[in-house]
Structure 1
Amino acid sequence: MRKLAVLIMVFFATVATAQEGDKGFLTRTIQNALSGAGRTVSIDGFAGALSSRARFDTMTISDDQGVWLTLEGVELDWNRSALLRGRLEVQALTAKRLTVPRLPVAQPTGLPDPEAKPFTFPTIPDLPVVIDIADFSVDEINLGAPVLGEPAQLTVKANALINDEMAKVDVQARRTDGKLGEFDIKANLERGQNVLDLLVNLKEESRGIVARTLKIPDEPSVDLTVAGQGPLSNFKTDINLSTDGEPRIEGQVVVAEQGDSTNPDRRIRADLSGDVTALILSKYREFFGPDVALTVDSLVQADGGVDISDFTLKAQSADLKGKVTLNSDKWPSLIDITG
């Protein structure tokens, strides 16, 4: 969804520098600017190039197998003069309908990079303008079964502010096809101190997308909350997962930086516990039982090596503790487990 919003904004930013006149030429210029390898963009019904309200009727994106995305009824209400002050101010960026029957065909990327890539938090690039989108919404989103495993219809509303001091985003998505599905994300990053405040809420009825994707037995209802706060160099996240109204897993995960700030190691500590019997296959339930506790203290090194210096797993039929070390190729160089 973020990539789609960026694509639309690139479209209108191109429009902002265009001249009113030959609409066929202008449309072709924009289409060529947005198209690329394995991606053909087609736009119909474009109007309002030099006004504060621009729109187009339809945009389609195709690959070698045909159209995989159709966007209809897009309107932009924005302050064009704000670009002269280095600001992209959008009062409303709305679309009536987005249809994605399938995912695009993956393009070949060549040989994989043999160098190990350790975990890092996503970073926000320095942008040439301040982005302030007061209202972004899509009234109707239709996703085909190949996208999420079943056809789904939903609506999305969002707002965002990105400048040199902060990055804020608030996204709300709701299923509208008769099934309960609520997805909320709120994030506020203070860029100077790299302090993030994150809240993710997800709620679905039984036989929903998340339960099926995670292959949870019997596909129960799911209620998940992920709340994190603190500097990215020592970020703490609280996790609470319930199914069918019963608590299943709760605990905290902490990711901290160590060593060279330009290419740091990542220390990951986890303390999770709960009744996981509803989350695993029936043949394993007697082994784990209704009270499982897991603690892990590990170091993910910048070169890709992993040092799990301490872990414990307590379950109905197991009481394990030990340590494990993997080299940069993920081959074990030490396994010391007792219990």
Structure 2
Amino acid sequence: MRIRRPLIVRSAVGLVCVALLGLVGYGMVGGSGENQQDVLASLVSRTLSTPATQVHVGAVDGVLSSDATVRDVSITDKDGVWLTLDKARLVWRRSALLLGRLEIDRLEIGTLEIRRKPLPSDQPVAESDQPILPDLPVKVQVKAFDLRALTLGQSILGEALSVAATGNTELGSPAEGLVFNLDAIRKDFPGRFKAALAYVPQGNALTLNVTLDEPAHGLMSKLGHLPGEPPVTFAVGGQGTLDSFRGALKLQAGPTIDATGTITLDRNGAGRVLATRLTSHLGPLLPAIAAPVFAGETKLDSTTRIGDDGSVALNGLTLTSRLARLDAKGLLGADKMMDFAASIRALPSNGDVTETDHGSIRSLVFDSHVNGPIKAPTASVKLALSGAHLPDGDVETLDASVTALPRAEASDPATRIILDANLRASGIAARDASSGGRDRQHRIARAPRRYGPRRPRQDRASRDRYLHGSGDLYR
């Protein structure tokens, strides 16, 4: 089963845009020929319909050449209606087309409700060769945008959400510049997101400002699984040119998570170099095995080259704390071939042992590598841990490795992925909080049946435990 078209965001945005562009196109030809509802239904259906999806347009009111409204649009699948739009109004100037502009004085969206995720199609859906939106040889200017309510059902993000937004934009060729402003406010819970982007060709001037402000138990803290769901504030902004940009970033998520730093973008030969320097406290965001060694202050330095040919080279990314270091580098070529590697090493703090506030580790080595076509890369991970005494338990030695090799596009649910996994461990003792912190021996029960047929074996002399699994994974 393969899902291509009925994607939630694409459907919602495409629904509104195609319907309104249908109004524009119909207004440009003077409103003759097919009736208005048939034209819009045809445009929306061509873009969004699948064998499992039906699109309905209720009515079209007003003068298409200046002020028109489309009403009661819905999308259904075999379980019923999953998306509705009560109305969308377009106020525009047809005469501006003579000056090479699609000039919209006001774009009003009523209530756009996405109740749930659409059902997948029962049969493969072929990609359409037609673009979602036509290429218009004009500059698009929306002077005022007003979304009364975007409502998402609980099943989409894990909680119900209602957002209102206003803004404006100017889109055209790069030579004509770019303006984008958005101000979104939650209606059902405190929270605000603002974005402002402006690019002026004269002088290559670029200005960026993005802010987010949410109280405790907000959407970002839940989506990010932040401990305790703290309040979150985020800001990134700067100004300059595309060849010399200077910006700053600041993140605060409760008392234990924060980051501040700078972002620069500079022209260098046939490309640009993006550099990031951050000082942060990110330990609570990391997995339990890595959080102790990255506790406290960490520093991040990264340099990325963005080639004019579309290639992206991570020349170096380093995240260091008092007790550990992470290094990453790699390349995504213009040919969409990738080769990235990352490693983590614990840094000794007392002789050859890394001592944390809540335990110690004699050695921690983590290596990962991803390479191959971007749509079907081979991935491998290796972990070696020894002498670990942590709040959750002890591990004398642990060596693990996993390799995944997709036989086709990894994003395709029908793709066969070949997995090979190995695990060797000894001296594992889980700390049982219910028994006053006493150690409890923990054994590997069996190999995952999904990945391989072999059962773990035990070396009676060393009491080591081994696990090997290999096989195919079908999603």
Q: Which amino acid in structure 1 is aligned with residue 295 of structure 2?
A: G
Match in the other structure for 1:223: 233
Aligned partner of residue 215 in structure 1, secondary structure:
coil
Q: Partners of 1:326 and 1:295 in 2: how far apart? A: 17
The alpha-carbon deviation at position 3 of structure 1 amounts to 4.8
**CA deviation profile, 1:50-86 (whole Å, cap 9, x unmatched):** 4522112212245676544211132222223223333
Q: Partners of 2:332 and 2:276 in 1: how far apart? A: 21
Pair 1:83 & 2:83 matched: no
The alpha-carbon deviation at position 331 of structure 1 amounts to 4.5
Match in the other structure for 2:242: 232
Which sits farther off after the overlay, 46-55 or 206-215? 46-55
Match in the other structure for 2:418: none
Q: Which amino acid in structure 2 is aligned with residue 274 of structure 1?
A: S
Q: Partners of 1:214 and 1:228 in 2: how far apart? A: 25
Aligned partner of residue 35 in structure 1, secondary structure:
helix
Match in the other structure for 1:170: 181
Pair 1:27 & 2:37 matched: yes
Identity %, equivalent residues: 25
Alignment root-mean-square deviation, CA: 3.7
- Aligned residue runs from structure 1 range 100-111, under 5 A: 100-104=114-118
- Change in Cα spacing, 1:147 to 1:254, as seen in structure 2 (3 Å) is farther
Match in the other structure for 2:26: 15
Q: Partners of 1:297 and 1:284 in 2: how far apart? A: 24
- Change in Cα spacing, 1:31 to 1:276, as seen in structure 2 (3 Å) is same
Match in the other structure for 2:155: 146
- Change in Cα spacing, 1:291 to 1:91, as seen in structure 2 (3 Å) is same
Structure 1 residue ranges without an equivalent (≥5): 112-124
- Aligned residue runs from structure 1 range 188-207, under 5 A: 188-191=198-201, 194-207=204-217
CA contact (8 A) 2:22 2:39 kept: no
**CA deviation profile, 1:111-168 (whole Å, cap 9, x unmatched):** 9xxxxxxxxxxxxx98422322222112122111233221101111111223452211
CA contact (8 A) 2:257 2:282 kept: no
**CA deviation profile, 1:198-249 (whole Å, cap 9, x unmatched):** 1111111222221222222222111000113233345444210011377710
Aligned partner of residue 62 in structure 2, secondary structure:
coil
Aligned partner of residue 48 in structure 1, secondary structure:
strand
Q: Partners of 1:336 and 1:141 in 2: how far apart? A: 42
TM-score using structure 1 length: 0.77
Q: Which amino acid in structure 2 is aligned with residue 276 of structure 1?
A: L
Match in the other structure for 1:212: 222
State which of 109, 119, 139 in structure 2 corresponds to 1:130: 139
Q: Partners of 1:110 and 1:20 in 2: how far apart? A: 32
Pair 1:270 & 2:276 matched: yes
Q: Which amino acid in structure 2 is aligned with residue 135 of structure 1?
A: A
The alpha-carbon deviation at position 297 of structure 1 amounts to 3.0
- Change in Cα spacing, 1:148 to 1:229, as seen in structure 2 (3 Å) is farther
CA contact (8 A) 2:257 2:283 kept: no
CA contact (8 A) 1:198 1:229 kept: yes
Q: Partners of 2:120 and 2:205 in 1: how far apart? A: 35
Q: State the aligned residue count.
A: 318
**CA deviation profile, 1:253-312 (whole Å, cap 9, x unmatched):** 33445444xxx4x5342211122244446665442232111222344676867453x554
The alpha-carbon deviation at position 326 of structure 1 amounts to 6.0
Aligned partner of residue 55 in structure 1, secondary structure:
strand
Q: Which amino acid in structure 2 is aligned with residue 150 of structure 1?
A: E
State which of 311, 315, 321 in structure 1 corresponds to 2:321: 315
Q: Partners of 2:117 and 2:242 in 1: how far apart? A: 32
The alpha-carbon deviation at position 30 of structure 1 amounts to 2.1
Q: Partners of 1:283 and 1:323 in 2: how far apart? A: 19
Match in the other structure for 1:120: none
Q: Partners of 1:287 and 1:335 in 2: how far apart? A: 14
The alpha-carbon deviation at position 104 of structure 1 amounts to 4.9
Q: Partners of 2:247 and 2:126 in 1: how far apart? A: 36
Aligned partner of residue 287 in structure 1, secondary structure:
coil
Larger Rg: 2
Q: Partners of 2:176 and 2:329 in 1: how far apart? A: 41
Which sits farther off after the overlay, 196-205 or 76-85? 76-85
TM-score using structure 2 length: 0.57
The alpha-carbon deviation at position 337 of structure 1 amounts to 7.7
Pair 1:291 & 2:297 matched: yes
Q: Partners of 1:307 and 1:32 in 2: how far apart? A: 45
- Change in Cα spacing, 1:19 to 1:305, as seen in structure 2 (3 Å) is closer
Pair 1:48 & 2:62 matched: yes
- Change in Cα spacing, 1:239 to 1:46, as seen in structure 2 (3 Å) is same
CA contact (8 A) 2:16 2:88 kept: no
Q: Partners of 2:119 and 2:299 in 1: how far apart? A: 42
Aligned partner of residue 47 in structure 1, secondary structure:
strand
Match in the other structure for 2:254: 244
- Change in Cα spacing, 1:7 to 1:276, as seen in structure 2 (3 Å) is same
